[in-house]
Amino acid sequence: MGYAFGIDIGGTTVKMGFFQKEEGLLEKWEIATQKGNDPTVVLEDIKVAIYACLERHHVSKEDVEGIGMAAPGPVTEGGLLRGTVNIGWGDVYLGKEGERIFDISPVYIANDARVAALGEAIYGAGVGEKSMMLLTLGTGIGGGVVFDGTIHVGSTGVAGEIGHCTVDPYETAPCSCGKYGCLEQYASATGMVRVAKRFLAEEDMPSVLRDKENLTAKDLWDGVTAGDPLSLMIGKHVSRLLGITIANACYVVDPDLVVIGGGVSAAGEVLLDMVIAEYKPQVFPHSRGKKFALAKLRNEAGIYGAAALVFTV
C-alpha cells in the first residue's frame, strides 16, 4: 500500500514518477508526448508505462493509492482541463478519462504550474510553511498558490496565474495571451531578453551583452553577477516589475512564503536579492519581512506535486 504515480504531462515529454508514501520517489523516467487532438492517445501511452513500472517493482495495482497528473492548461475545481494549446487538446475531464483508461482510481488532475507549487510546498522550499506562492520564470511565467497543503484552484481555475497580472497598463505590444502589459512580457526568460534588447537599443553604454549573438536570460544574469552596469540596469528593471507584481499578489493573499522557480531562477541569490529589494518599497513596512526562497525541486516539482495530489487528500 501507499504507492502513487506523479505524472507531469508536457508539450514534448511526459515525466513519470513512482512514489511510496514514506520512502518518497522510487523511480522516475520520461516518455514522449504524442501531440494531436485526442488525449486518449497520450493516456494509453501513460497506461503502458504505469503497468510496466508496477511489474518492475512487483507492486499490484490494488496497492496504488491514486494517480496525480499535471497538465499544461487551466483546470477548474471540477477537474475540467480547458484548452491545452501546446498539445492540441480541447476541453476534457482528464482525471475521469484517466480512471477509465488506467483502470486505477482515483486520478487527480491539476494545472502544471499549480502542481509544481504544491510539490515545492510539500517536498521542497515550502516545507513547514502554512501558505506559499510560487512563480516559475521559464519560457512563460507560471504560478500557484498553496494554502495548508492544498492548491488554491479558484472558481475558474486561474488562481495563481501571476504571470498574466498586468504590470504595465500602457504597454502596446500584446502578450501571448492577447492582453497587454502582463508580467510575462518582461520577466519570463523571453520577456527578459525582449527588455534587454530594448535597453541595448536605447542606451549607449558599453555592455558584455552587446557581444552576444543569441542573447539569453542567462547572459543577462551572468552580466548582473559580473557587475556589468547595463546588465544591472536591466536586471533592476525586470526585478522591479517582479517586485510590484509579487507585492500586488501579497496584498491579495499575503502568503507566509514566496518561492521563485523556473529556468531563470538558476541565476540564484543575485536574482532573489534584487527581487526582494524591489518588493520591499511596494508594501507596508510590517510586510517587508516576508520570507522569499528559491525553488528546490527544479524539473521534478511537477511529479512531486502530482504525487502530493494523491498523498495529501
Residue numbers at the binding site for a copy of itself (CB under 8 A): 74, 82-83, 130-131, 133, 145, 152-162, 164-170, 177, 179, 240-241, 244-245, 247-256, 281-284, 286-287, 289-290
| Residue (66 or 74) nearer to a copy of itself, CB | 74
Query: Using CA atoms, how far apart are residues 178 and 6, in angstroms rounded to an integer?
Result: 32
Is the Cα dihedral 193, 196, 200, 206 positive or negative? negative
| Residue (247 or 307) nearer to a copy of itself, CB | 247
| Residue (14 or 110) nearer to a copy of itself, CB | 110
CB of 160 to a copy of itself, least distance (A): 7
| Residue (225 or 312) nearer to a copy of itself, CB | 312
CB of 164 to a copy of itself, least distance (A): 6
| Residue (222 or 256) nearer to a copy of itself, CB | 256
Q: How many CB atoms lie within 10 A of CB 121?
A: 34
| Beta-ladder partners of 141 | 137
CB of 61 to a copy of itself, least distance (A): 35
Query: Using CA atoms, how far apart are residues 228 and 269, in angstroms rounded to an integer?
Result: 17
**Type of residue numbered 259:** V
For 52, what's the count of Cα atoms within 13 Å in the CB-facing half-sphere?
Answer: 12
Q: Of 257, 254, 262, 268, nearest to 301 (Cα)?
A: 262
| Residue (199 or 304) nearer to a copy of itself, CB | 199
Q: Of 157, 64, 44, 41, nearest to 110 (Cα)?
A: 157
CB of 186 to a copy of itself, least distance (A): 10
CB of 285 to a copy of itself, least distance (A): 9
CB of 236 to a copy of itself, least distance (A): 13
| Beta-ladder partners of 110 | 70
Tallying the residues shown for the chain, one arrives at 313
* CA distances, 219 to each of 54, 195, 207 (Å): 43, 13, 11
In eight-state DSSP terms, residue 166 is B
